[in-house]
Amino acid sequence: MIEHILTQPSFGPTLAACVTVLLSAALKRSNDRFTRDFQIHSARMATQAGETASALADLKKIELSNATAVKYADIVEQRAVRLHADLAELLAIVELIAAEPPLDTQEDRRHCLRLITSISLALSPRGGFAEEFNLELGHLREAAINGSAYLKKRQDMLTSFRRKAWMIIDAEYDRALASISTGSAMPRPALSPT
């Protein structure tokens, strides 16, 4: 019987068709498995790409925040340096006015008035400390206008003014450092009056 089947003229094409069907099924199954594995791999890659993009976006936000804080801290530091220089120059002129006999000139007094205005505008009179400081600046303005006799009556005020000037300078430098270390803009510290 097997010999009969093998000798049939349609056996070769039938066998070839069966082998083709079996190979096609095996290839289709292999192709489906490969496609499924590829889709799973692509989904994992897309998830990783999304996580990477999210991490990069977070890093960019942190970088921008830090850049802003550093820029702000640089502005605060430049302001502190300028305020420091103005206060030092003002105190030097006040020492000339307070000397016996006074060693200041009219130009020194005009410069003293400009420095007082600049410092007063840099420190708004909000809070007890700033109000006292601005009042002392007012006394120095009067001394620049009226001369050393005005200061001789207020030696305690000069000592208090020097102390407050250093407190302000230290607070401004600390503010710049805190802005850099925290990565955000820090408010001006509230100083307490003496």
C-alpha of 121 from chain center: 25
Cβ neighbour number for residue 50 with a 10 Å cutoff: 10
Break the chain into its structural domains and give their ranges: 66-182
Q: Would you say residue 183 has pLDDT above 80?
A: no
Is residue 70 within 8 Å of residue 105, measured between CB atoms? no
Query: Burial of 89 by CB count in 10 Å (0-12 exposed, 13-18 middle, 19+ buried)?
Result: middle
Q: Using 50, 70 and 90 to split pLDDT, how confident is the model at 115? A: very high
Q: Which of 3-7, 41-45, 93-97, 181-185 has the lowest mean pLDDT?
A: 3-7
pLDDT score for 175? 84
For residue range 49-108, what is the model confidence (pLDDT) as tens digits?
899 989 999 999 888 877 877 787 788 788 888 999 999 999 999 999 888 888 888 999
pTM to 2 decimal places: 0.66
Report whether pLDDT(6) > 70: no
Instruction: Give the integer Cα–Cα distance in Å for 116 and 87.
Output: 9
